Structure 1
Amino acid sequence: MIHRISSLFGRQSEALSAQDFEQLRAQATILEQDARGVKVLQLSDGRIFKLFRVRRLLSLARIYSYARHFCRNADGLAGLGIPTVKVVRLLHFTGSADTAVLYQPLPGRTLRQLAQAGELDNKLMADFGRFVADLHARGVYFRSLHFGNVVLTPDNALGLIDIADLKLYRHRLHVGHRARNFRHLQRLKHDWDMVATEAVQAFIEAYFATSDLSARDQATLRSKFRYLPKT
């Protein structure tokens, strides 16, 4: 039985017993797991159950959980009008500090799926450049920004998934944060290897055309972009 409790942090959390979790897992498909066990499940109705384990005895996650942080990010992105997952439930396990979220996934295809299908063309990459510039202008710092976590929705809008590793600032990102985010975006070389040179150029030019940055800041960021074609 799942018990609902009040929360001091704005969103209510529900207690989930080990028995409840085993029943849930028996009726779901495992999407991701590691040596410690299940990490992500997909329920029969398409909803996603994501589990967050606390690895250290002394951790801030015991006070403000990873799952609650995920919920805050989802709510914050939605408030900014950025498409993302919709959290249905926030959960905590009885007898441990582990937490979880149940959410409705964002429909569409990831940029990685589009690239693998040969559909990540100049226009889409330019849209992606403008999208990243808009994230930075709105203060969205997404450390897990890569092709697999950006979705093109059926409405032809770009959105974000797997948003646990994200922080929302009240100001636009300064050039240092943008440079680090560019490094995050370029960690997976095989993503960029699937994109034509002209499309890479379209991404970077659209980013700078949309960003209100000084010539000095633009030069700094261009120097951090490894896949920018040489001129």
Structure 2
Amino acid sequence: MRSRSFSHSQLLALMDASDVIEADGSGLKVGALPNGDFLKVFRRKKWLSRDMFTLPAVRFARHCELLHERGIPAPRIRDTLVLNDSNQMSAVTYRPVAGRTLRQALAAGDVSERRMAELGQFIARLHDEGLYFRSIHPGNIILCDSGIGLIDVLDMRVRGWPLTRGERQRNWRHFFRTREDHPHLDNGLLAALMAGYNHRNELPVTDFDWEQGVRL
């Protein structure tokens, strides 16, 4: 992982040169650079946080490297940008994962039951290997030719043991929390997803109710 020292003004210039992909009230979060790489900007939101000890850009890059080591497609980090005149921001440049998000594919009606079964097995593998990706949802899962990948992986913890049942339940709650995905998850796709997970482990979800949320 290569780390480069940047000034705040240099980062702002890089942001200005990017086409906005995602932004919030604070400004650009993800942008496309002219060379095809992506720029992801992290801003420190709280004074007292673990960002004081390890910059989020560094954690993001480490998580991407860890996933690559396990053969899981993830952003390919080019540079970790550490500001030499501020600890309020950091950034990474990376090559994005080729493919579509699960959310995009579901909305287009392009997800088969076989693919959903593969996804269930993939999530079971994450849980069994102690990878607690707390922000898992269809918008952060990439369907690609080389398998199933993950993006936006800052909010991930690596355990030295399989996830507990409670952690698995919370992970599934997050997976199903976005209501825009619900109309595209018919009974056949849900059954395939469950069957795929159960192929490796016992699914900790017993009932799905879109009005009341996921019952565990």
Matched AA of 2:206: S
Q: Deviations over 1:53-106 (max 9, x none)?
A: 112223321211111110111111111111111111111223221111111111
**Distance in structure 1 (CA, Å) of the matches to 2:47 and 2:180:** 37
Match of 2:205 among 197, 219, 222: 222
Aligned to 1:150: 141
Report the more deviating stretch, 141-150 or 87-96.
87-96
> Deviation above 6 Å: which 4+ runs of structure 1?
none
Give the superposed CA RMSD: 1.8
Structure 1 counterpart of 2:47, from 36, 44, 57: 57
2:106 is the alignment partner of 1:115: yes
Unaligned runs of 5+ in 1: 1-10
Q: Give the TM-score taking structure 2 as reference length.
A: 0.90
TM-score by length of 1: 0.85
Structure 2 spans left out of the alignment, 5+ residues: none
Give 1:12 deviation, angstroms: 4.8
Q: CA deviation at 1:23?
A: 2.6
Once the 2 structures are TM-superposed, how far is the Cα of residue 224 of structure 1 from its aligned partner? 6.1
Percent of residue pairs bearing the same amino acid type: 33
Distance in 2 (CA, whole Å) between partners of 1:39 and 1:94 is 20
Superposed displacement of residue 192, structure 1:
2.7
Tell me what 2:196 maps to: 206
- Does the residue aligned with 1:222 lie in a helix, a strand or coil? coil
1:127-167 deviations in whole A, cap 9, x for unaligned?
11111111111111111111111111123x00101111111
| CA apart distance, 1:226 | 4.1
Matched with 2:126 is 135
For 1:76 and 1:225, locate their aligned partners in 2 and report how far apart those are by CA, in whole Å: 32
Residue 171 (structure 2) aligns with: 181
The whole-number CA distance in structure 2 between the counterparts of 1:81 and 1:203 is 21
Supply the AA of the counterpart residue of 1:32: E
> 2: distance between equivalents of 1:146 and 1:12?
29
Distance (whole Å) between structure 2 residues aligned to residue 68 and residue 225 of structure 1: 37
Map of 1:24 onto structure 2: 14
Contact 2:8 2:86 (C-alpha < 8 Å) held by counterparts:
no
